[in-house]
Amino acid sequence: MKTKQNIQLVDGEFTPSEASDVIMSLIEQKINFHKLQRLALCEGFYGADTEYPDGRIGELETEKEIARDFIAQVRHQGKRLKINGVLEITLMD
């Protein structure tokens, strides 16, 4: 049985607008995942520990701003972007 699998999620050259759409969509999906995870933890137990999803949401919001700033700089320079997004999935014991 394989213990590792790679999935080529994004691979290509993009205009700044296209790159922004791809990157922001991926980050927003991940933020929504953690929001749902947090909601599930709190359902029926108001005092649930939501430190992990809260932390990840904050980290992803920061990454979104970093990406937005970088893409704005690239747009200003009139350049294109290459995105190589690989998901690496590893079997854990």
pLDDT at res. 93? 86
Please tell me the predicted confidence (pLDDT) of residue 48: 87
Structural domain contains residue 57:
yes
Q: Which of 24-33, 41-50, 73-82 has the lowest mean pLDDT?
A: 41-50
Beta strands 4-14 and 81-90 are antiparallel
Q: Per-residue pLDDT tens for 33-76?
A: 999 999 988 887 778 898 999 999 999 999 999 999 999 999 99
Is 73 among the domain residues?
yes
Query: Mean pLDDT, the chain, as a whole number?
Result: 95
Helix (H, G, I), strand (E, B) or coil at 88: strand
Range of the domain at 52: 18-80
Consecutive H or E run containing 56: helix 51-77
**Residue 28 belongs to some domain of the structure:** yes
